[in-house]
Amino acid sequence: MAQKDVGNKVPIYKLKKTHEVMKYYDEWGEGNKYDKDMVDWNYTGPKETSKIFNKHANVKNIKIYDAGCGTGLVGAELKKYGFSNFHGADLSQKLLDLVPSGLYKSLEKVDLNEAINHKDNSFDAVMCVGTFTFGHVKPPALDEFIRITKNSGLICFTINEGIHEEYGFDKKLEELKKEKKWKEIEFFKSDYIASKDVNAWLGLYEVTK
């Protein structure tokens, strides 16, 4: 079956360089247009991932790193399930400025394609939703997520279907399994941006380093 062409579905998918993506997000954040578009597009990524995460994370006060948190959509969903100890990171300061006050314990401006400035085993879980997509964060970030997550911790993420193979995420997921860095708990194609007919692979893995 031919792969669905999703590269033209959303304007930002055409951007390849980090500085282009950052400029786009800064402009997208003006007047809270980003959040309005997410509603209009029926962006279900945060809802889908939080539901799966809650299914497997039984302790509510665990420390969660929300990688690519944007305006805090994942944090808002996790809060509905009773989680509260989350820490957000994003490349766009403009989007971070739009995160509701008090929702996250901390927020930091970070390029997730570089080393994350946290010690090994700093978090109980990592969420990364809507960040593994065109021109954004590449597969090596998964090594960093594993590094900062405690053994037996959870890593939950989406990978846009359009870059899963093109960027080498398919190979990276298998490599980490073979190296016994983590084990697969859930992995399936989920709804993502319903109105644009864009799906994502949703993965939840347990760290086994």
Segment 129-138 shows an average pLDDT of 86
Residue 129 has pLDDT above 80, yes or no: yes
Phi, psi (rounded to 5 degrees) for 170: -60, -45
* Amino acid (one-letter) located at 51: K
Mean pLDDT computed over every residue of the chain: 85
Residue in the structure block whose two tokens are 């996790």: 78
Predicted TM-score (pTM) of the model is 0.84
- What's the whole-number mean pLDDT along residues 22-44? 57
More confident residue, 82 or 37: 82
CATH topology of domain 11-112+119-207: Rossmann fold (3.40.50)
What is the band of 7 on the pLDDT scale with cuts at 50, 70, 90? Answer: very low
Q: Which of 6-15, 75-84, 110-119, 147-156 has the lowest mean pLDDT?
A: 6-15
Better-scored residue on pLDDT, 174 or 26: 174
* Per-residue pLDDT tens digits for 57-109: 999 999 999 999 999 999 999 999 999 999 999 998 988 999 999 999 999 99
Query: Does residue 22 or residue 198 have the better pLDDT?
Result: 198
Position 18 confidence tier, pLDDT thresholds 50, 70, 90: low
Q: How many residues does the chain have?
A: 209
pLDDT at 167 over 50: yes
Report the pLDDT averaged over residues 136-156.
Answer: 97
Q: How far apart are CA 23 and CA 29, in angstroms?
A: 10
Residue spans per domain, the chain: 11-112+119-207
